[in-house]
Amino acid sequence: MTATVRRRAVTVLLTAATAAATLQAPALAAPAAGAPGLADCSTTAPVTCHFDVAPGTYDVTVELGGEDAASTRLTAETRRTVLAETATEAGQRLRRAFTVDVRTPEGEPLGPDGNPGLDVHVGGSAPALAGIRVTPARHTRQILLAGDSTVCDQPGEPYSGWGQQLPQYLGRGVSVANYGDSGESTVTYLENPGLFPAVRTRIGKGDLVLIQLAHNDKQTDGPTYRANLEALVDGVRARGGKPVLVTPVVRRWFNADGTLDNDTALLVNGLGVNHPEVVRSVAADHGVPLIDLTARTKQLVESLGVEDSKALYLYDEKRDNTHTSTHGATVYAGLVRDGLRAQHLLPEGFLR
């Protein structure tokens, strides 16, 4: 695009009927000189906006809507949902803002580097993006996630971790730095320099660090598992951060009576270690906030029953009763959001 077009606040509109983006009349005031905007977005479906920015934390403000009724969902970087599907009426404009963590690697910390800069992807059933602006974030609260494959930014469909869906429940001023990584136990997470040692370097005073590790501690004995959790807690506190322990999401394994299996589903390993109980005990003994995701997901899965609970996991796609679908990860991220809210771990104004 020419410099003249770059200075204008043009509209990029993608309708369900045409499945292609078109330029419309101005919708936003002209951005400040040098500020990334719609000129950095593609004009064919699917619309992707790419901003050539350095690693860091960025505020993104978007304006949604167009001449027709629309419904828009936004993801950023490695499939992180930053804005849930949002409807606009014909002629309506809605402004929304969120904060994005940009880093390398952009997804799983031991995964590929991904694309440099910031990518925002425009989706939804009838998407309409009328404007977008990216600016460096200031005075941002940070949530760091230490977890496994049920938490991480999964690179491809149909998989999704709850940490990948958490950003849509947070407003501008809170970033999520997801350091969840597939296959990690408390043992490997502490040892690998790309995991907890990397997380520690990013912790600032008052940052929340949510820790959910258990699914891969199949051969970790009780004393070691407890000591590892305590080391994670101490490591966060030594940097001025605030640890939050999260019990693991359940696996979808039912008994004949419709309840979840006491061992496989509820994370009791072959050595008899009841992971959720150890997490609860460490939280109580060390004064650490606890989000009991095991109890919450157990209640939900059992209430849905054998058939309806399949949609939360990848049973239909992969016969997988451990990893969550995008729908399931979104629901479980909502439970984490509820836990943050109930314990006042974030001011209400930062939560959606």
Task: Please check whether residues 88 and 165 belong to one and the same domain.
Answer: no
Residue 5 backbone phi and psi in degrees, to 5: -65, -40
Does one domain contain both 56 and 72? yes
> From start to end of 66-117, where are the E strands?
70-76, 80-88, 94-102
Q: Please tell me whether the peptide bond between 243 and the residue prior to it is cis, using omega within 30 degrees of 0.
A: no
Give the span between the Cα atoms of 244 and 154, in whole angstroms.
22
Same domain, 103 and 180: no
CATH number for the domain harbouring residue 253:
3.40.50.1110
- pLDDT score, position 44: 86
Q: What are phi and psi of 248, to 5 degrees?
A: -70, 150
| Average pLDDT for 236-248 | 98
Residue 323 has pLDDT above 90, yes or no: yes
Q: Residue 104 has what DSSP assignment?
A: S
- Contact at 8 Å (CB) between 314 and 323? yes
Domain membership of residue 312 (yes or no) is: yes
Long-range contacts of 15-19 (CB under 8 A, 24+ apart): 15/66, 15/68, 15/70, 15/126, 15/128, 16/125, 16/126, 19/45
Domain of residue 325 covers 141-345
How confident is the prediction for the chain on average, in pLDDT?
90
CB 190 within 8 A of CB 152: no
Please give the Cα distance from 122 to 60 (Å, whole number).
13
For residue 29, the model assigns a pLDDT of 31
Q: Total domain count for the chain?
A: 2
Residue-wise pLDDT for 9-29, tens only, equals 223 333 332 233 322 322 333
Please report, for residues 41, 249, 278, the alpha-carbon distance to residue 291 in angstroms, rounded to integers and kept in the order given.
Answer: 39, 11, 13
- pLDDT band of residue 255 (cuts 50, 70, 90) is very high
pLDDT in tens, 152-194: 999 999 999 999 999 999 999 999 999 999 999 999 999 999 9
Tokens of 213: 């590790």
DSSP secondary structure, 275-301, as one string = HHHHHHHHHHHHT--EE-HHHHHHHHH
Of the residues 136, 166, 187, which one is the last residue of a structural domain? 136
CA distance 81 to 78: 9
Classify residue 73: in a domain, yes or no.
yes
Query: What's the pLDDT at 83?
Result: 98
